Amino acid sequence: MTKYLLIVNFEGGAVQEPMEEWKPEEITAHLDYYRRLNDLLTASGELVRHELLTGPDVAKVVTSDGTTPVVTDGPFTEFKEWVAGFQVIDVETEQRAIEIAALVSAVPGPGGKPTQQPIQLRRVMEQGPANADEMVDYLATADGQS
């Protein structure tokens, strides 16, 4: 089995209306869809973990020279780029990971229409680079050279 990370941000996909403008029943349908999907993926053994993140207004950026950490509260990216949450799935194939990401993307929005929200799908590495040559190979794939 291979693990994948599905990253959900606040980018609305096909939906232009901010959620604050949705009807309460549309928000409920949206959240219920996520609950049902997570329940199905948990029952199938494919959902490893899912988390909702607090907003960037309470996030911190930490840098350090190895001694004293420096903590700031930004700058942050645009609202639509904020990571709202994530799921870690463990599946047999990349195709299954894509199918699950598509299910997440189809979460309903206003009027019950699928939001088509872009979901970033990333394979979790079993092992990171252990030396300079492996790091060079990794960086080549990270910037699309391979």
Task: Give the number of other CB atoms < 10 A from CB of residue 109.
Answer: 23
Instruction: Identify whether 75 is preceded by a cis peptide bond (ω within 30 of 0).
Output: yes
Task: Report which secondary-structure segment, H or E, holds 89.
Answer: strand 83-91
What tens digit of pLDDT does each residue of 104-129 get?
999 999 999 999 999 999 999 888 87
C-alpha to C-alpha distance for 110 and 66, rounded to whole angstroms: 48
pLDDT of 2 strictly over 70: yes
The domain 2-62+70-126 having CATH identifier 3.30.70.1060: the answer here is: yes
Higher pLDDT, 35 or 133: 35
Burial class (CB in 10 A: 0-12, 13-18, 19+), 93: exposed
Per-residue pLDDT reduced to its tens digit, 50-103 = 999 887 778 888 889 899 999 988 666 666 678 889 999 999 999 999 999 999
Residue 145 has pLDDT above 60, yes or no: no
Which H helix or E strand runs over 122? strand 119-123
Bridge partners, residue 52, by sequence: 85
From residue 92, give the alpha-carbon distance in Å to each of 32, 97, 126, 137: 26, 8, 14, 25
pLDDT, position 37: 97
Look at residue 129 in the predicted model and tell me its pLDDT.
Answer: 79
Q: What is the pLDDT of residues 5-57, one digit of tens each?
A: 999 988 888 998 988 999 999 999 999 999 999 999 999 999 999 999 887 77
Domain map (residue ranges) of the chain: 2-62+70-126
Work out the number of other CB atoms within 10 angstroms of the CB of residue 37: 18
